Amino acid sequence: MSSPAGHLPVLLESISELLGPPSGGTVLDLTAGRGGHAEALARAAGAGGRIMLCDLDAGNLAFAEARVRGVAGAEVRSMHGSFANADRAMLAAGWAADRVLADLGFASTQMDDPSRGFSFQNDGALDMRLDLSRGETAADLLARMSESALADAIFQLGEDPFARRIARTIVERRSRAPFRTTHELAIAVSAAYGPKARESRMHPATRTFMALRIMVNDELGALRSLLEAFRATASKFPSTTWLNPKARLGVISFHSLEDRLVKHAFVEWETAGLGQRVTRKPVEASDAELRANPRARSAKLRVFEFASEIGAVR
Ligand SMILES: C[S@@+](CC[C@H](N)C(=O)[O-])C[C@H]1O[C@@H](n2cnc3c(N)ncnc32)[C@H](O)[C@@H]1O
């Protein structure tokens, strides 16, 4: 099933149920994307509600802002940049969040746009930056990383068992000409797989592309900074400034390394008396959702509710 916004929000029912704000409440959507989740949360907040949207992708952010402004009586503001800095936008607005959502990774519109370089399905420049206004592209990384660093990244972030062979092939190939396009990289990775490419369930380049995307956008570093910012703020309850006591944070992750970071942070916060896990096990997509949106396959939602003050859980 497609969506006029170009992206179907995953686990929408669970998000509405577990992260629906109180009437007139304040929502911080850290990954606004195409605004699907934000629209539902804004409707729940209603007139008098406040919605802060954040995204690295200026195009997505503008789309989400227009979408959310169009449907809800809520006040909408936005911040272009990494969610690791969203606290500054909340402080500048003088807002404190009741509900916070991070729906990690990329939107379908980004993956489907050949000029963004996220996919090997269509040929395009090897870019992969979520924020087109700054940072190194995938082509830059492929040109400068050592063979061993590439192998480690493709193994750890992409979990590709042929990581060493792929890194060797990349380094050998780039000594002749730099990688410029997604097809050039996909062909090199397929060559590294050799006859094994035919046995592979997915395209041989899938995992290498995922590893590069995670590196280009420092996705794990950004998530770590985000979780640290929440911990530091919640440790000051009840005298916090941008997060309300009893606020809820929901994180949807699509990669086991991300999910592990979230799971461990929530357990540690609970042990430290900062609040309680709302979800003990991650919420996953139903069969019906998977049929409509195969992208939801790896989505895992975890939700944490902060206490009103440290140690005062419920
Ligand atoms: C899965 S999409 C979000 C989709 C959105 N929930 C919706 O309903 O349309 C993820 C979005 O997060 C953005 N993003 C990824 N990492 C980010 C970060 N560190 N800071 C801000 N935005 C980020 C991407 O640019 C993308 O637009």
How does pLDDT run across 192-204, given as a tens digit for each residue? 998 877 777 889 9
- Give pLDDT, residue 178: 96
Distances (CA, A) of 13 to 40, 106, 289: 9, 20, 10
Which atom of ligand 1 is nearest to 101's Cα? 6
Sequence-ordered list of residues with C-beta below 8 angstroms from that of 239, at least 6 positions apart, any chain: none
Question: Could you tell me the pLDDT band of residue 309, with boundaries at 50, 70 and 90?
Answer: low
Q: Judge if the beta carbon of residue 182 lies within 6 A of ligand 1.
A: no
Cα torsion 37, 38, 42, 48: sign:
positive
The partner residues of 51 in beta bridges, in order of sequence, read 27, 76
- In the block, tokens 């989400």 appear at 64
Q: Is the CB of 78 under 6 A from ligand 1?
A: no
Ligand 1: centre distance to CA 96 (Å): 21
* pLDDT band, very low/low/confident/very high, at 312 (cuts 50, 70, 90): low
Domains of the chain: 12-108+219-306 (3.40.50.150), 136-216 (1.10.150.170)
pLDDT digits (tens, 9 = 90+) for 102-139: 999 999 999 999 999 999 998 999 999 999 999 999 99
Exposure pattern of 15-33 as b/e (b: 16+ CB <10 Å)?
beebbbbeeebbbbbbbbb
Mean pLDDT value across residues 251-261: 97
For residues 224-232, average pLDDT: 95
Residue with tokens 């503008």: 62
Evaluate whether 106 touches 117 at the Cβ level (below 8 Å).
no
Cβ of 250 below 6 Å from ligand 1:
no
The response to whether residue 248 sits with its C-beta less than 6 Å from ligand 1 reads no
Residue with the smallest CA separation from ligand 1 atom 2 is: 107
The string of DSSP letters for 120-172 reads SSS--BS---SSTTSS--HHHHHHHS-HHHHHHHHHHTT--TTHHHHHHHHHH
| Whether the predicted pLDDT of 253 surpasses 90 | yes
- pLDDT of 314: 40
Beta-bridge mates of residue 78: 53
Q: How far away, in angstroms, is 55 Cα from ligand 1 center?
A: 6
10 CA closest ligand 1 atom index: 8
Q: Is 89 in the pocket of ligand 1 (CB under 6 A)?
A: no
Q: What percent of the chain has pLDDT over 90?
A: 86
Instruction: Examine the pLDDT at 239 and tell me if it is beyond 70.
Output: no
Percent of the chain scoring above 70 in pLDDT: 96
Which is the closest atom of ligand 1 to the Cα of 252? 1
Q: What is the mean pLDDT of the chain?
A: 93
Of 1, 113, 100, the closest CA to residue 52 belongs to: 100
Report the b/e string of 180-207 with b at 16+ CB within 10 A.
Answer: bbbebbbebbbebbeeeeeeeeebbbbb
- Ligand 1 atom showing the smallest separation from residue 226 Cα: 19
